[in-house]
Amino acid sequence: MDREASAAPFHDWNARIAEECYGPVTLGIHGGSDGRTIAYDETLKRLSYNFGPTLLSWLESERPAILSRILAADAATQTAIAQPYFHNILPLESRRDKETLVRWGLAEFRHRFGREAKGMWLPETAVDVETLEVLAGHGVEFTILDPKQGEAVRDIGSTAWMEFDAEHLDPKMPYLWVSPRDPSKKLVIFFYHHRLSQGVVTGETTASAERFVDAVRGRLWEGDAAQLVHVASDGEFYGHHHPGAERVLALTLDLLQAGGIPAIDPARFLALFPPPHEVRIREKTAWSCEHGLGRWEKDCGCRSAHLPGWSQDWRAGMRSALDRLAVRLDTFYEDDASRFFAEPWKVRDESVALWLTPDDARASAFLKAHAKRPLDSDEERRALELLAMQRA
Question: Residue 140: CB partners within 8 Å, gap ≥ 6?
Answer: 82, 102, 106, 117, 118, 119, 120, 187
The model's pLDDT over 301-328, given as tens digits with 9 standing for 90+, comes to 887 777 878 888 899 999 999 999 999 9
More confident residue, 38 or 73: 73
39 pLDDT tier (thresholds 50, 70, 90): low
- Per-residue pLDDT of 174-200, as tens digits, reads 999 999 999 999 999 999 999 999 999
**pLDDT at residue 36, rounded to an integer:** 62
Give Dmax over CA atoms of the chain in angstroms.
Answer: 70
Query: Angle of helix 360-370 relative to helix 377-391, nearest 10 degrees?
Result: 90
* Mean confidence (pLDDT) of the chain: 93
